[in-house]
Structure 1
Amino acid sequence: MTLNRYKPIIEALGFTTLHSSQRLQVLWGGYGELVRLYVDSTSIVVKHVQLPQQHTHPRGWNTQLSHQRKLKSYQVELSWYHHQAEHTNARVPKKLLAQTDGQEYLLVMEDLKSVGYSEMVSTAKRQHITACLRWLAQFHAQYIGDQGKDLWPVGCYWHLATRPDEFDALQDMQLKQHAHTIDRVLTQAPYPTLVHGDAKLANFCFTPDGNQAAAVDFQYVGRGCAMKDVALFISSAVEPELCAQMESELLDEYFAHLQLALSDSQPQLCAQRVEQAWRPLFAIAWADFQRFVKGWSPDHWKINAYTEALTAQALETLKAYR
């Protein structure tokens, strides 16, 4: 896309000079691009979605259902930025412009890099993990009880109802047998909140010291069990061989952050009761993710001894919910 293409955006936002652009990434499946624009004395980020002529997927999931799910995800993200983003307690990019034109979506946001969240990491240090757990706790605490208007009825990109192809491909028959029970338990979990839906390490930006985090990519935000976000984050930020020994420590830390966040945003709720309801669902939430990964990519590195043991624990725990 040429610089001239962006000039109407720049003018609409009141900037005078567009100096240059930098493509940050091509969107998943070739559905557009994420671009940084250097304007006046600052920078902004544009998420420009254009539907491809031919659907592509790096693992071959090129179905019409996959296409419709992506379309829905971009509509949800625009709704999030229209109605929710400016009110959230957890740090997210501020919306500057959001619009839809047929099969084209445009989201213009502040550049987190220009306001101090300049770092992205592929290997998390301990302070990065703490910052993300704090972010998730603040987010979940604020939205307990929120109806998630115009968002996903059930958040997270691997939700069972939206992944029938991967479910059909699943070869783990025990997990397949219990998949709908797992989904029901999570969907009916006490204290439903909003979940980010794709809370992996790659969707967080950090201050240079790593102590503060901001999150991006709200295509799968919706109502759900908070443990889905926590499980996905840990799966992306902690080495598999360390997960078992760090599990209790990380959950303790998350719930400590949640207690503080609830005292600020929803003091009428008892943090201890929320923790008692949510903590047992951690293993079940991870088993739900395991169901997706095993159907989607059965040789994926996120399937390992820890996740298999946690899934077995979850299947045993399910007996208490029948």
Structure 2
Amino acid sequence: MLNLKKEILRVTSASNILETQSVQNLWSGYGEIKRYQLEEGKFKSIIAKHIQLSDGQQHPKGWNTSSSHQRKLKSYQVERVWYQNYAHLTDENCRVPKALHSTETEMEMLIIMEDLNESGYPHRHNPDNITLPNVKSCLKWLANFHAKFMNNPAEGLWPIGTYWHLDTRPDEWDKMNNLSLKNTAKAIDEKLNQAQYQTIIHGDAKLANFCFGNNNNVAAVDFQYVGKGCGMKDVAYFISSCFEEEECEKYEEELLGHYFNELDKALDNTLDFKSLKSEWQKLYKYAWADFYRFLDGWSPGHWKMHDYSQRLTQEVLSELDLK
């Protein structure tokens, strides 16, 4: 069994742990994320993600299947690879926690990382208090992240990013109510996967995974589902986590315009941006439909299954039906 205190003190050169604070319990009881306040050493505080890998966890929606367990195990291994091999490649325009240390045993995994609260990102927002400038800051982060890793093969990460990817969700696909969407799910998936322009996507880019500074600068956390993909998957999912249907409709053009402007600046003429934008704009509704497919099997009636997401999904179904 890992000795967390010993590992933390060794990595940080601290003399003692002064205080421990729970940040978040991991999904399905796979462990916990904690903040450790330290005495002396290199850091005032650090974040430790401690994963315990038994196969008897209880999923809050009852999805206790072998495929669910294997997906979780893979996600923690991917996150460890991310912090070891990729996190240091980011910059201030797509800020992530600095990796300090990671280790694993047969049944446990520990990732020790920078505490973003101490580094100037102490604020969190939710859909009730989010502002348009907040949303645009996160889209700027995504644009810079996607630009940074454009055409990267994503070795060691998910071959196809996002936690709702079709091939990793057979149980949810089997439970789908919308038969037209169920039968078209593979075609939607292929459309996104076969896009000419691929990057590394965050894979779980919801509002809750962004940390805000006093000047509306942002950093992102939680890289369990980071992998290769079309950037529209992150963009559609992020917007879905911020707004109800009316705002999604109202701000669609403005937000996509902002994202693509930031992406253009970040890419700095390294590829044919006009071609990329043309392709990805058309795939925005496919990204929504792909996520809607997951919700239909995972949590029918979910609040994100609103008229806006239904309309975009239906547009995709109609488009594919004509081909």
Normalised to the residue count of structure 1, the TM-score between the two structures is: 0.95
The residue identity in structure 1 corresponding to 2:246 is E
Distance 1:8 1:78 in 2: 16
Q: Which residue, out of 166, 174, 179, partners 2:180?
A: 174
What is the correspondence of 1:96-245 to structure 2 with a 5 Å cutoff? 96-123=100-127, 124-209=130-215, 211-245=216-250
| 1:23 and 2:29 aligned | no
The residue identity in structure 1 corresponding to 2:65 is T
Distance 1:249 1:53 in 2: 45
Distance 1:21 1:275 in 2: 46
Counterpart secondary structure, 2:14: coil
Q: Which residue, out of 72, 87, 92, partners 2:74?
A: 72
The residue identity in structure 2 corresponding to 1:245 is K
| 1:37 and 2:47 aligned | no
Q: Name the counterpart of 2:63.
A: 61
- Residues 98, 114 of structure 2: 8 Å contact kept: yes
Shift of 1:316: 2.8
Distance 1:240 1:146 in 2: 34
Counterpart secondary structure, 2:118: helix
For this pair of structures, how many residues does the alignment match?
316
Counterpart secondary structure, 2:233: helix
For residues 104 and 251 of structure 1, do their structure 2 counterparts lie closer, same or farther at Cα, with a shift above 3 Å needed? same
Shift of 1:5: 4.1
| 1:311 and 2:316 aligned | no
Shift of 1:17: 2.5
Q: Name the counterpart of 1:276.
A: 278
Q: Name the counterpart of 2:293.
A: 291
Cα distance per residue 1:181-212 (max 9 Å; x no partner): 00000000111111100000000000024x21
For residues 5 and 79 of structure 1, do their structure 2 counterparts lie closer, same or farther at Cα, with a shift above 3 Å needed? closer
Q: Name the counterpart of 2:251.
A: 246
Normalised to the residue count of structure 2, the TM-score between the two structures is: 0.94
Q: Name the counterpart of 2:13.
A: 14
The residue identity in structure 2 corresponding to 1:19 is L
Distance 2:276 2:213 in 1: 30
Shift of 1:52: 4.1
Distance 1:228 1:200 in 2: 11
Distance 1:30 1:287 in 2: 30
Counterpart secondary structure, 1:307: helix
Shift of 1:164: 0.4
Cα distance per residue 1:98-120 (max 9 Å; x no partner): 11111211000000000100011
The residue identity in structure 2 corresponding to 1:107 is I
Distance 2:223 2:196 in 1: 23
- Residues 55, 69 of structure 2: 8 Å contact kept: no
- Residues 145, 193 of structure 1: 8 Å contact kept: yes
The residue identity in structure 1 corresponding to 2:159 is P
Distance 1:319 1:225 in 2: 22
Percent of aligned pairs with the same residue? 48
- Residues 196, 222 of structure 1: 8 Å contact kept: yes
Structure 1 residues not aligned, in runs of 5+: none
For residues 302 and 221 of structure 1, do their structure 2 counterparts lie closer, same or farther at Cα, with a shift above 3 Å needed? same
Structure 2 residues not aligned, in runs of 5+: none
Distance 2:303 2:148 in 1: 33
Distance 2:7 2:22 in 1: 18
Task: Output the aligned Cα RMSD.
Answer: 1.7
| Runs (4+) off by over 6 Å | none
